[in-house]
Amino acid sequence: MEHKFAERARFVTSSETREILKVTERPEVISFAGGLPAPELFPVEALKEVCNAVLNEEGAAALQYSTTEGYIPLREAICQRMKSAGIDSSIENVLITSGSQQAIDLTGRLFINEGDTIICESPTYLAAINVFKSYNAKFVEVAMDDDDGMVMEELEQMLRDHPDAKFIYTIPDFQNPTGRTLKLERRKRMIELANQYDVLILEDNPYGAVRFAGEELPPVKHFDTEGRVIYLSTFSKIFTPGLRLGWICADETFIDKYVAFKQTADLHTDSFAQRITAKYMELYDIEEHINKIKAVYKERCTAMLSCIEEFFPNHLSYSKPEGGLFIWVELPEGIDSAHIFTECLKNNVACVPGAPFFPNGTQKNTLRLNYSNMSKERIIEGMKRMGEVLHRELQNDSLLTV
Amino acid sequence: MEHKFAERARFVTSSETREILKVTERPEVISFAGGLPAPELFPVEALKEVCNAVLNEEGAAALQYSTTEGYIPLREAICQRMKSAGIDSSIENVLITSGSQQAIDLTGRLFINEGDTIICESPTYLAAINVFKSYNAKFVEVAMDDDDGMVMEELEQMLRDHPDAKFIYTIPDFQNPTGRTLKLERRKRMIELANQYDVLILEDNPYGAVRFAGEELPPVKHFDTEGRVIYLSTFSKIFTPGLRLGWICADETFIDKYVAFKQTADLHTDSFAQRITAKYMELYDIEEHINKIKAVYKERCTAMLSCIEEFFPNHLSYSKPEGGLFIWVELPEGIDSAHIFTECLKNNVACVPGAPFFPNGTQKNTLRLNYSNMSKERIIEGMKRMGEVLHRELQNDSLLTV
């Protein structure tokens, strides 16, 4: 009865990379493939107290249907946190979503007509590519510099070439998959260009709060004077991903429409999860918790970078993130990282091949490494194994191509 | 910047009825307008123990990202409960969704092309109408009998007239908004017709487990021999709605595609909520809990029906539900229940006007009453007030039309 499916079902398949992740879940595999936060940092003990407090103080309300917009004290706490990051907003600008994945999806629904053009970093977040593809969008990729993020001259060229582009999709801080950050002047320039070419910006900012080195930068939305930046973020990287809590911060005109789509999508986000998160922020200092996360991720990132220096062939280029969860490695041209992945798996170590992160096809000589989900010892052991594979495979390759 | 919205944004507006519900939330209003379960029945005390157990036994996993398909022990428990209701399934047939609202929405995404025809009961569930409209579907309405649900002769006629209809959308048990139930022979006949005309059935069954009178009937899916029934249900009416847990039970071919769409929609449903619900069913007897709900709803429904007899004008017709949350009242033709609603609100009592439940327009002389969310005393007081309004307004009307 597959003939009954809608046309759009053709554009949606279970993500290849998700299938890869399943393979890497075998306990003997040291996996740098996923994008999971460190579970040992989840505030499990605190949450016992928090659940109890929520159920004691507002049990029935916490379990009842609630408003689509989201729990007011949670939205207030979000506004507060965004304020210290440089975004002025009120609760009317904030919609709670079921993870920031839903925020991306609702953005697709609200804005993308079939064939619309999205301008994005090259490479970019895989699950966003999948969402936008499900709405049958076209992608225009803009190259990034290793240290400074999206190249503004190229962005301007693309805006000139695609005057009907619907929005610029950007992950300015510690981008997934590259770990790169858009530098300050480019943030300002991106806003100027968006104003000039009358295009929206979708700022996806799940990692900005997890900066463990360098100087803090204001979000792109900080420079927005015309209400054209839609800002997305999440509690997944600073609290827990399992509760599925994200948010959209945007102009009220946009939020009103988002609310209408959210109603059709799932009525509202889990009331209990929202109250747990708000109560946690009331009873505990979430900044202190985030500082713990930063310290651990810094140690792991530093360890992984040292391992690249020590164990990997030395003509590779790679990013040196100041936050977030990922390092991006470029292998010599002509090397297919899918093959490296297969070889690594034989050594019980895993990464993610980079090709799927390029929406229009393939830059096959890239791979993404995650450092947040693994102890330093396991990182060292895994990187050793991966180094062996890379030495062998790159040698083979040079033998072949000489 | 509204010119940036996608075409489909035109079909989605914040539901009128939701706006009505906001007005009725004033504490002085006795509201029969919503569709909320009785909050005093939520197992708040049990949940304290359950949350503690989940966090003690599997804290980190309960807070981490998890699989799109859903938590296996929860899916197993669902299969078990469906088995006793007459549906044979395995966990491969079950996808956990963020409330059954998401299940409806994913169905729209997976199956509806622009302009596709959906055959449904007349009237039907408002939030499903809104979802299908957001995918730009057309609706063909089939009349219902007061006691027996959708009229099969009319369904067959509609299938003949609309050979390309995508699916039959039905709420066979204690339908929202009418409280009506599809009788046994018609369930079998519906399957026969679906087979004959090669059409899918979307069986939305949130209320079936809350039967407080009459004999239990097997779901439509029980009679499905060709895998053409997609069955949706939820924990909202038998446990808590705030946790947003629903599910889809369907053939694996369908579930695979649903999973792919669910990935783009929100990655997965709240891990903690899933484990809480599974743990509750492990530690407590949910059937016993449902029995308490049934007893209370039976008392409230009976009280409301008596009040209709006692306080309402006596030439009205209304449904006599054997379960669920709603009673449907038909006023004399020519009476606009939106006007009745306004007059009732002046008396601090509220119902929902019935017109929006008719996808193609208006049968304005109808209204929906909810009895689950209010004590017997409040029901009696509210029905008295509503009775006064109806007596006055119907009298005015007869004066006008004589």
pLDDT digits (tens, 9 = 90+) for A198-247: 999 999 999 999 999 999 999 999 999 999 999 999 999 999 999 999 99
Predicted pLDDT at B398: 56
For the stretch B211-234, pLDDT in tens is: 999 999 999 999 999 999 999 999
Eight-state DSSP code of residue A117:
E
Contact A5 B109 (CB under 8 A): no
Residue A3 lies in a domain: no
Contacts of A254 in chain B (CB under 8 A): 1
Asked if B251 and B350 sit in the same domain, the reply is no
Predicted pLDDT at B402: 38
B72-85 and B271-283 helices, crossing angle to 10°: 50
Asked if B13 and B26 sit in the same domain, the reply is yes
Of A283, A303, A326, the last residue of a domain is A283
DSSP run (H or E) holding A402: none
Cβ atoms of B102 and A265 closer than 8 Å: yes
Chain B nearest-CA distance from A311, in A, is 31
Of B102, B253, B272, the CB nearest to A2: B253
B 17-46 residues with CB < 8 A to A: 18, 34, 36-37, 39-40, 42, 44
Distance CA A8, CA B215 (A): 42
Comparing CA positions, the residue from A121, A160, A153 lying closest to residue A140 is A121
> Does the pLDDT value for residue B76 go beyond 50?
yes
Asked if A98 and A138 sit in the same domain, the reply is yes
Q: Say yes or no: B115 contacts chain A, CB-CB below 8 A.
A: no
Contacts of B68 in chain A (CB under 8 A): 18
Contact A265 B101 (CB under 8 A): yes
Predicted pLDDT at A98: 98
State how beta strands B326-330 and A167-170 pair: unpaired
Q: Say yes or no: B8 contacts chain A, CB-CB below 8 A.
A: yes
Specify which residues B204 forms β-bridges with.
Answer: B232
- Determine which of B199-203, B347-351, B395-399 has the lowest per-residue pLDDT on average: B395-399
Residue A332 lies in a domain: yes
Predicted pLDDT at B21: 73
Contact B12 A260 (CB under 8 A): yes
Residue B249 dihedral angles phi and psi, to the nearest 5°:
-120, 120
Distance CA A139, CA A219 (A): 23
Burial B153-170 (b: 16+ CB within 10 A, else e): ebbbebbeebeebbbbbb
In one-letter notation, the amino acid at residue B229 is V
Residue A2 lies in a domain: no
Predicted pLDDT at B269: 98
Contact A228 B1 (CB under 8 A): yes
> A73 in helix, strand or coil?
helix
Residue A347 lies in a domain: yes
What's the pTM?
0.96
> A236 in helix, strand or coil?
coil
Asked if A19 and A66 sit in the same domain, the reply is no
Q: Say yes or no: A10 contacts chain B, CB-CB below 8 A.
A: no
CA distances from A25 to A16, A125, A126, A346, A381 (A): 15, 21, 19, 14, 17
Asked if B38 and B86 sit in the same domain, the reply is no
Asked if B349 and B387 sit in the same domain, the reply is yes
Of A251, A283, A315, the last residue of a domain is A283
Residue A1 lies in a domain: no
A252-266 and B99-111 helices, crossing angle to 10°: 90
Of B6, B263, B270, the CB nearest to A242: B270
Which CATH number is B7's domain given? 3.90.1150.10
For the stretch A250-300, pLDDT in tens is: 999 999 999 999 999 999 999 999 999 999 999 999 999 999 999 999 999
Which CATH number is A203's domain given? 3.40.640.10
Asked if B89 and B161 sit in the same domain, the reply is yes
For the stretch B283-320, pLDDT in tens is: 999 999 999 999 999 999 999 999 999 999 988 999 99
Distance CA A166, CA B166 (A): 31
Predicted pLDDT at A325: 98
**In the structure encoding, which two tokens stand for residue B234, read together?**
């939820």
Specify which residues B248 forms β-bridges with.
Answer: B95, B232
Chain B nearest-CA distance from A16, in A, is 11
Chain B nearest-CA distance from A386, in A, is 25
For the stretch B94-115, pLDDT in tens is: 999 999 999 999 999 999 999 9
**Number of residues that make up chain B:** 402
What is the DSSP annotation of A301-313?
HHHHHHHHHHHS-
Asked if B351 and B279 sit in the same domain, the reply is no
Of A266, A283, A300, the last residue of a domain is A283
B 140-199 residues with CB < 8 A to A: 166-167
Asked if B48 and B37 sit in the same domain, the reply is no
Q: Say yes or no: B257 contacts chain A, CB-CB below 8 A.
A: yes
In one-letter notation, the amino acid at residue A284 is Y
Whole domain around residue A229: which residue ranges? 44-283
Of A64, A131, A270, the CB nearest to B264: A131
Distance CA B85, CA B209 (A): 8
What is the distance between the terminal CA atoms of chain B, rounded to a whole angstrom?
A: 53
Of A15, A116, A264, the CB nearest to B134: A264
Cβ neighbors of A217 (< 8 A, separation 6 or more) are A172, A173, A181, A182, A183, A184, A187
Contact B200 A263 (CB under 8 A): no
CA dihedral sign of residues A248, A289, A33, A299: positive
> B262 in helix, strand or coil?
helix
Chain A nearest-CA distance from B325, in A, is 15
Residue A135 lies in a domain: yes
> Does the pLDDT value for residue B401 go beyond 70?
no
Number of separate domains in chain A = 2
Asked if B203 and B319 sit in the same domain, the reply is no
Asked if A177 and A313 sit in the same domain, the reply is no
Asked if B151 and B267 sit in the same domain, the reply is yes
Q: What number is the average pLDDT over the span B129-152?
A: 95
Residue A325 lies in a domain: yes
Contacts of B1 in chain A (CB under 8 A): 200, 226-228, 251, 253-254
Predicted pLDDT at A20: 73
Confidence of residue B180 (pLDDT cuts 50, 70, 90): very high
Contacts of A99 in chain B (CB under 8 A): 266-267
Angle at B199 between CA B196 and CA B205, to 5 degrees: 115
Contact A273 B273 (CB under 8 A): yes
DSSP run (H or E) holding A199: none
Question: Closest residue of B to A59, CA-based?
Answer: B44
Contacts of A44 in chain B (CB under 8 A): 55, 59-60, 63
Would you write out chain A's pLDDT as a tens digit for each of its 402 residues?
767 899 999 888 766 666 777 777 788 999 999 999 999 999 999 999 999 999 999 999 999 999 999 999 999 999 999 999 999 999 999 999 999 999 999 999 999 999 999 999 999 999 999 999 999 999 999 999 988 999 999 999 999 999 999 999 999 999 999 999 999 999 999 999 999 999 999 999 999 999 999 999 999 999 999 999 999 999 999 999 999 999 999 999 999 999 999 999 999 999 999 999 999 999 999 999 999 999 999 999 999 999 999 999 988 999 999 999 999 999 999 999 999 999 999 999 999 999 999 999 878 999 999 999 999 999 999 999 999 999 999 987 654 443
- H helices of B312-349, where? 337-346
Contacts of B12 in chain A (CB under 8 A): 257, 260-261, 264
Chain B nearest-CA distance from A304, in A, is 23
Burial class (CB in 10 A: 0-12, 13-18, 19+), B67: middle
Of B15, B42, B66, the CB nearest to A60: B42
